[in-house]
Structure 1
Amino acid sequence: MKRFDLDYYLNGLKAENTVVLAQAITLIESKRRSDQDLGDLILTEILKEAEPSIRIGITGTPGVGKSSFIEGFGSFLISQGKKVAVLAIDPSSQRTGGSILGDKTRMEMLSKNPKAYIRPSASGSALGGVNNRTRESILLCEAAGFDAIIVETVGVGQSETLVNNMVDFFLLMIQPGSGDDLQGIKKGIMEMANGIVINKADGDQAKLAKRSKTDLLSALHLFAISDSGWQTQVELCSALEHKGFDKVWSMISSFEKQMKGNGLFAQNRCSQNVTWFEDRVNLGLLQVLTSQPELTRLHQQLKYKVQENECSVSQATAELLALARQLLA
């Protein structure tokens, strides 16, 4: 990758140059130490002139139509005067580490709009439906003038909730009659969701979608109201027919207004910064430890012993952690 200096990135981001934005995200995703150092300098500088934005996380089971929804919803936001950035996370192969990164193909019309920017990234080894640098990418998009940042996760699962700690509004998408989907989603994500959208509310599924909304609202009334006082809302939408985007945006705007009114919007972002810091520290400590030759050798030896049933997992873990503590002492 061609090297540029700090001013190149800062001036390019300030000029809302999407080419520079793409280069900056590539820089902060790089594993090279020199790139990471420059990326840290960029992030430190852009924090001084943070622009107001709304960060929206979108999750849902595969096939629910997240990409189609985001393309239509993003176009709607642009019609309302917004500049929209989409950070789409694709799952990485557990075997090769590769990823298809096909989100631009799925959002062809939006990707051509000069007021939009779509960045597909591989999830890598990160849990939570995002990648290790999604938070940094959000800040870079904001610095480049995008005031609506949409983070699309790889799907719903037990670990697909990390995105909730980096966005202002967490949106869960489901399909009409998604009883089985809701069983798979479990209560945790339902409680985290600030809003739920029932997509594909069109054609033969329109009546089913309305019934699903009624059922969902009844279920949500059983949940305790959050400390913010916000009650999770449910809206119908048809990405196919481009209907319901205005109601979804109204829901998000109402949430933002209420959170800013009670001071929790800024407080939530501050809490997210602390979580971000703790995550980076934990990752850094892990990298420091795994770079120790002595620890790496013992790790490999213990893996073999566990594989051959020569020692228990708990015994091997205790032995490895004992050496780690000794190295950190």
Structure 2
Amino acid sequence: MKKPKPKLALKEKEGVSPPEIISASVVENIQQFRKVQPSAKELVEGILEGNITALSRAITLVESTNSEHLAKANEVINACLPFANKSVRIGITGVPGVGKSTFIEAFGKYLTGLGKKVAVLAVDPSSTISHGSILGDKTRMEELVKDENAYIRPSASGETLGGVARKTRETITLCEAAGFDTIIIETVGVGQSETAVHSMVDFFLLLKISGAGDELQGIKRGIMEMADAIVINKADGDNIKKAKLAKTEFNRALHLFPAKKSGWMPTVSTCSSYTKEGIDEVWKTISDYLELTQNNHYFAEKRSSQSQYWMLETINEQLKNNFFNHPEIQHLLEENKKAVQNNKVSPFAAASILLEKYFKG
């Protein structure tokens, strides 16, 4: 004999069926819109009008590895160049866990509060195994992403130097043409990315935290020499005392380094991205730096040398791509890899063979 089903306290009454959450017509319109590929002229017009969709599409085009997109991307960039170079470019680095995204959100909100238009170019590290990236900066910066005067563009680092996206330099140009007067570039913070970012920004900010071990571990000559300012983040609660101690130690260390060509003496300050304490001081430091370097002409000289550097880097990258995509080289490369692995030829001799073959055509 079957047991009677227990009576439920809650039950749903029949009524009007809820409407579809997603409109089929809206979906179709979006799909049709995405199929339409705007011309380079249309993208440029949209960018100059401050259209975020056009800007995002142009950046996607610039980041594309499809050789067919290269000519169109270059056309967009060249058309935007006369309207670029009117922003302040700020590089922000620090080890994972230092609170870069939280700091950038607090700093970005402060700047938009001053009437600035802020573009954040956040480079996420790509997995060397799956080649994927999380691209979670928009999630971490949930307040800034809703700000109409802010634009956040996460990009995968790919296989580029230290995690700096291959086309970050061109992306800066597009954002400037779209009217963003403050460009923030967040590095991966895991190695050589600092070198590449330093070569494309006006001001380089190093984020540190206290209480993570011996402060002397953070005093590394290379990164310290590149930094225009050091900010001890997470200076709140029980960590305030440790942050002040770290500030004193970093200040002492900075005096051991040679003077910068800019004539600027790097500063050390503390801040809390959580309480927003000290965020205004960071912007004051950057403003003081800009005033000094613009008056002594170092700002313009640095921008000029950076452009030359990126021209040479682009040539190097294009030569490398042409070499590895050459059909004959690809075949010969596999043969020489096996020969090197079996100790039949030295790595240097194998490289000479490949290069000789490439340059002979």
- For 1:287, the equivalent position in structure 2 comes to 321
Residues 9-53 of structure 1: CA distance to partner in whole angstroms, max 9, x if unpaired?
Answer: 121111111111111100111122332211111111111222521
Whether 1:67 and 2:85 are equivalent positions in the alignment is: no
- For 2:75, the equivalent position in structure 1 comes to 41
- For 2:253, the equivalent position in structure 1 comes to 219
Which residue identity does 1:204 align to in structure 2? D
Whether 1:188 and 2:222 are equivalent positions in the alignment is: yes
Whether 1:298 and 2:328 are equivalent positions in the alignment is: no
State the secondary structure of the residue aligned to 1:88.
Answer: strand
State the shift of 1:98 in Å. 1.2
| Aligned CA-pair RMSD | 1.6
Residues 88-117 of structure 1: CA distance to partner in whole angstroms, max 9, x if unpaired?
Answer: 000011122211101100101100111110
CA distance in structure 1 between the partners assigned to 2:56 and 2:215 by the alignment = 35
Which residue identity does 1:166 align to in structure 2? M
Which residue identity does 1:326 align to in structure 2? K
- For 1:4, the equivalent position in structure 2 comes to 38
CA distance in structure 2 between the partners assigned to 1:281 and 1:182 by the alignment = 39
- For 2:264, the equivalent position in structure 1 comes to 230
CA distance in structure 2 between the partners assigned to 1:181 and 1:213 by the alignment = 10
State the secondary structure of the residue aligned to 1:271.
Answer: helix
- Percent of aligned pairs with the same amino acid: 50
- For 2:87, the equivalent position in structure 1 comes to 53
Contact 2:126–2:158 (8 Å) recurs in 1: yes
Contact 1:157–1:185 (8 Å) recurs in 2: no
More displaced 10-residue stretch of structure 1: 293-302 or 144-153: 293-302
Contact 2:219–2:253 (8 Å) recurs in 1: no
- For 2:131, the equivalent position in structure 1 comes to 97
State the shift of 1:182 in Å. 5.8
Give the TM-score normalised by structure 2. 0.87
Contact 2:219–2:250 (8 Å) recurs in 1: no
Which residue identity does 2:292 align to in structure 1? Q
How many equivalent residue pairs?
327
CA distance in structure 1 between the partners assigned to 2:332 and 2:269 by the alignment = 54
CA distance in structure 1 between the partners assigned to 2:323 and 2:85 by the alignment = 37
Which of the residues 310, 313, 327 maps onto 1:276? 310
State the secondary structure of the residue aligned to 1:128.
Answer: helix
Contact 2:215–2:246 (8 Å) recurs in 1: no
Which of the residues 249, 272, 276 maps onto 2:283? 249
Distance 1:110 1:235, change over 3 A: same
Contact 1:27–1:39 (8 Å) recurs in 2: yes
Residues 110-156 of structure 1: CA distance to partner in whole angstroms, max 9, x if unpaired?
Answer: 00111110000000010133110001111111111111100001114
CA distance in structure 2 between the partners assigned to 1:184 and 1:248 by the alignment = 20
CA distance in structure 2 between the partners assigned to 1:180 and 1:297 by the alignment = 51
Which of the residues 40, 53, 58 maps onto 1:24? 58
Contact 2:122–2:152 (8 Å) recurs in 1: yes
Whether 1:161 and 2:209 are equivalent positions in the alignment is: no
Contact 1:128–1:163 (8 Å) recurs in 2: no
CA distance in structure 1 between the partners assigned to 2:356 and 2:119 by the alignment = 45
Contact 2:227–2:266 (8 Å) recurs in 1: yes
State the shift of 1:288 in Å. 1.6
Which residue identity does 2:129 align to in structure 1? R
State the shift of 1:185 in Å. 6.9
CA distance in structure 1 between the partners assigned to 2:240 and 2:138 by the alignment = 29
Give the TM-score normalised by structure 1. 0.95
Which residue identity does 1:279 align to in structure 2? E
Residues 151-186 of structure 1: CA distance to partner in whole angstroms, max 9, x if unpaired?
Answer: 001114245321000011011111014555763673
CA distance in structure 2 between the partners assigned to 1:150 and 1:159 by the alignment = 15
Whether 1:173 and 2:207 are equivalent positions in the alignment is: yes
